[in-house]
Chains A and B, each alone.
Chain A
């Protein structure tokens, strides 16, 4: 039952997407072109996110740590 209502909801969302972007009016080959383009862009954005975002976040984290936690590092090096 839950799966069925979930599927209905997803189908409804897909219909909304079709109506809003006018792909409801397109001929089949135009739809193919449009969806291919969209899916390609989406995959590229996700791939970029996957590659770059963790690196950027850890760099930013280190920068802030350096900014605020500078005293602790110094004491650590003296002890060393």
Chain B
């Protein structure tokens, strides 16, 4: 096994970004499949990861990038042409414009900033904001809408497209359901409390339901205390300003979610960005911060906090938690982990990335998560030491001003969490987590075998499939809808300009038949649209993926 892989190793290193175990550190070599490692007390030296960490970020062949730019070039030329026609009155203007009397004032609308929206987004706008009219379970019903003037306006025909397979909702454990038996407790609480709270946490908005929920969340995660908020986005943007302020340093990942970025900016602290999931970049920043201190006064930073996410939803990559924790302990920084997509979705019993890597929740200072994704509800939580949570109860903007979570939603989270922990007497929770794991692995394996370029970690239920060219974004989404499958496609502002993608969210509620339907449709569509760019179709090179690389990849 050593010799052929030694040759392939160089090939792999050049083309295939594969991040794996850093067994390099202790110089452990694999010869003929036998690991000759220095073992101390039965634990291999130098391994921070207890199991294989395999991520794929394959680059497409060069001609794909060239053709993508060509496509954007043609789109831009026609955009200029249309703008010219609109400016000279040859075509009707559909966007906002100033009144005649205001023409001499400072311009209100900067035309060029919206160039992309006006000329490229409008053409494929029918693939977003599609209204659905049922619960977003594994299948949903879609309201049919048509456009008469190339996506400037829509009208509903009145028909409903039934049973569209849902590959876009964040329904990882399948708790978005309408089964009467499952929702029994929620109905009881709805009749007992009603729907509105009409107050904030610090006034009259703390109910016994919130106290029960917070205790349950703390037990679930294995921490001292937790606090819940009504909105997931607001949990980040309103609490980070309470935790850090001027004179503090925030080290944030390149691809962090907008809520984290907004919270960091609102806090007024200094923000430095490190490359996505890149530990050398983070370590360099930490060293510089400690050696040089604050910019002008050279004083030590009041606090250094690292903001990362558990699973990054656009890439499907999982954070390198063991390395970050060791860095944080070495340089005495704090860690804020946003588990919006990973809580419930990874880990042997669904307790998130902390359990996935086999670490203790005491290693992470602030554990944050949302209930929107895996629990079928709304809202977020922050958990950690009791001192931290007590501080947030008094100092968070959300606690003072925002309405608290409404009781039926709190009950939905309680029942979902009890199901996950097994406290309702069944093993349904564990079955859901395992089903999600099986579905994820199956889906990813089949897509790799078919030859698509998929990003992200093998264990992440978020699967981005790369489309690259702007023309294919619209074609892909429309044709998938014709086959009765609903997908989410993402283009330029949310992703780099050449890497537009379709993002699939695998759910525990998907049956094998549904996944097979989707995979067959993807196969057909992949051939028709020519999307199978991968040079490493897994079935043809099985040995390359068992290899443990001996170099640390940037």
Contact = CB atoms under 8 A, between A and B. Distances in A.
Interface in A13-35: 15-16, 18-27, 30, 34
B71 interface: yes
Given A19-B469, A30-B78, A34-B74, A24 B474 contact: yes
A34 to B, nearest CB: 7
Contact of A16 (B70, B78, B123, B530): B530
Contacts of B474: 24-25
A64 interface: no
A12 interface: yes
B529 A25 contact: no
B150 A18 contact: no
B471 A21 contact: yes
A25 B70 contact: no
Contacts of A24: 471, 474-475
A26 B123 CA distance: 8
B74 A12 contact: no
Nearest to B476: A19
Contacts, number: 46
A25 to B, nearest CB: 4
Contact of B471 (A12, A18, A27, A34): A18
A21 B471 CA distance: 7
B124 A19 contact: no
How many chain A residues sit at the interface, stated as a range, is 10 to 19
A26 B470 CA distance: 12
Given A16-B530, A20-B70, A20-B71, A25 B472 contact: no
Contacts of A27: 150
Given A30-B78, A34-B74, A22 B528 contact: no
A12 B529 CA distance: 9
Would you call the interface of chain B mostly helix, strand, loop, or mixed? helix
Contacts of B70: 20-21
A21 B472 contact: no
Nearest to A16: B530
B75 interface: yes
B549 to A, nearest CB: 35
A51 B391 CA distance: 84
Nearest to B530: A16
Contact of A19 (B75, B78, B529): B529
Contacts of A22: 71-72, 74-75, 78, 469-471
A78 to B, nearest CB: 58
B475 A19 contact: yes
Contact of B71 (A12, A21, A30, A34): A21
B291 interface: no
Interface string B235-267: 000000000000000000000000000000000
Contacts of A34: 74, 78
Contacts of B71: 20-22
Nearest to B76: A22
B86 to A, nearest CB: 14
B74 A23 contact: yes
Given A19-B471, A22-B470, A30-B81, 10 more contacts: A19-B469, A20-B70, A20-B71, A20-B471, A22-B469, A23-B74, A24-B471, A25-B120, A25-B124, A34-B78
12 contacts: A18-B471, A19-B472, A20-B67, A20-B70, A21-B71, A22-B75, A24-B475, A25-B123, A25-B474, A26-B78, A26-B123, A34-B78
Task: Give the 5 A-B CB pairs with smallest separation, nearest first.
Answer: A19-B471, A25-B123, A22-B471, A22-B71, A22-B75
